[in-house]
């Protein structure tokens, strides 16, 4: 558990090695991110010793600093994602109560504002990782004085850290490639409004209709990273899907820090 401000993000890699060794053993490490749609496991497993460790030049004189800015939600926050220094920052600055969070700072502000505006009774998360973001969502509900609950769905549920615990928070095992692992009756019982957040990046063609068809007008579906680097075919498919599901982009959130400066460009979606 996170004690005295300790960053325990490295425990996620330890948990994968312990509980899901076939995913990271030997040559399997080369394809683990593609299989899991996570994008960090291969890099972190090779540099686990620097996760959350402060860079030796953490404190700098003003004269050392560049005054240039890169306006991209991820690159502005974490610079070169391949570098060891970036892995330190991605671990420590993208953590919450010692747990991996993996949301850029601008999106933390956006989610906080949306939770205050929407007052969701249910926050649904697909892709829990270590449980840090789900715990943050639960604490945000407390901060808003809201009587909601957070339900987070994860394939590698044995990697959820014990300290990701909250009276409002519930974790569920699910394989989003198979919607029969999601309990339809459970979703039918979730009170509205909903804030549904997808950070699993898998099977949108089936998952989004499953979720959105159970949503009410005014509920939100946020698809993180899905449209960060879209091709023409991906854009066309998303336009058709959103039109069919009556989803509209809420530009208040996509463009708050500049046009689409968010990890969910064009994907803060409100059901109409």
Q: Residue 37 has what pLDDT? A: 77
Q: Residue 48 has what pLDDT? A: 74
Q: Residue 72 has what pLDDT? A: 62
Answer whether 271's CB lies under 8 Å from 245's CB: yes
Give the pLDDT confidence of 101-133 residue by residue, as tens digits: 888 889 999 999 999 999 999 999 999 999 999
| CA-closest candidate to residue 123, choices 162, 155, 169 | 169
Contacts of 249 (CB under 8 A, 6+ apart): 242, 266, 267, 268, 269, 270
Give the pLDDT confidence of 122-177 residue by residue, as tens digits: 999 999 999 999 999 999 999 988 899 999 999 999 999 999 999 999 999 999 99
Give the pLDDT confidence of 232-247 residue by residue, as tens digits: 999 999 999 999 999 9
Q: How far is CA 216 from CA 127, 152, 213, 244, 251, in A?
A: 22, 20, 8, 15, 20
Domain ranges of the chain: 10-98, 105-271
Give the pLDDT confidence of 68-101 residue by residue, as tens digits: 655 566 665 555 656 666 777 777 778 899 898 8
pLDDT band at 66 (very low <50, low <70, confident <90, very high): low
| Residue 65 in this model has a pLDDT that exceeds 70 | no
Helix axes 105-118, 132-143, angle to 10 degrees: 40
Q: Residue 9 has what pLDDT? A: 81
Residue 151 is given by DSSP the state E
| CA-closest candidate to residue 192, choices 246, 114, 118 | 118
**Which of residues 153 and 33 earns the better pLDDT score?**
153
Domain 105-271 has CATH 3.40.50.150: yes
């Amino acid at each position: 558990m996170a004690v005295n401000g300790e960053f325990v993000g490295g425990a996620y890699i330890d948990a994968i090695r312990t509980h899901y060794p076939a995913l990271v053993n030997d040559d399997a490490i080369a394809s683990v991110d593609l299989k899991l749609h996570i994008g960090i496991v291969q890099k972190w497993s090779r540099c686990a010793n620097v996760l959350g460790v402060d860079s030796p030049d953490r404190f700098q004189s003003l004269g050392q600093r560049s005054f240039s800015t890169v306006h991209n939600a991820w690159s502005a926050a974490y610079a070169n994602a391949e570098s060891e220094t970036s892995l330190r920052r991605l671990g420590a600055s993208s953590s919450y109560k010692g747990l991996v969070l993996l949301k850029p700072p601008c999106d933390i502000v956006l989610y906080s504002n949306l939770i205050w505006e929407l007052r969701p009774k249910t926050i649904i998360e697909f892709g829990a990782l270590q449980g840090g973001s789900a715990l943050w969502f639960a604490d945000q509900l407390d901060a808003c004085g809201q009587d909601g609950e957070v339900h987070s769905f994860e394939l590698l549920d044995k990697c959820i850290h014990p300290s990701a615990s909250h009276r409002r928070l519930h974790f569920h095992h699910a394989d989003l490639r198979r919607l029969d692992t999601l309990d339809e009756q459970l979703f039918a019982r979730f009170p509205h409004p909903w804030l549904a957040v997808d950070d699993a990046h898998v099977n949108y063609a089936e998952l989004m209709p499953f979720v959105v068809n159970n949503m009410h007008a005014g509920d939100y579906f946020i698809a993180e990273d899905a449209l960060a680097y879209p091709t023409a075919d991906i854009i066309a498919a998303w336009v058709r899907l959103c039109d069919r599901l009556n989803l509209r982009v809420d530009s208040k959130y996509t463009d708050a820090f500049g046009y689409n400066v968010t990890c969910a460009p064009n994907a803060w979606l409100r059901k109409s």
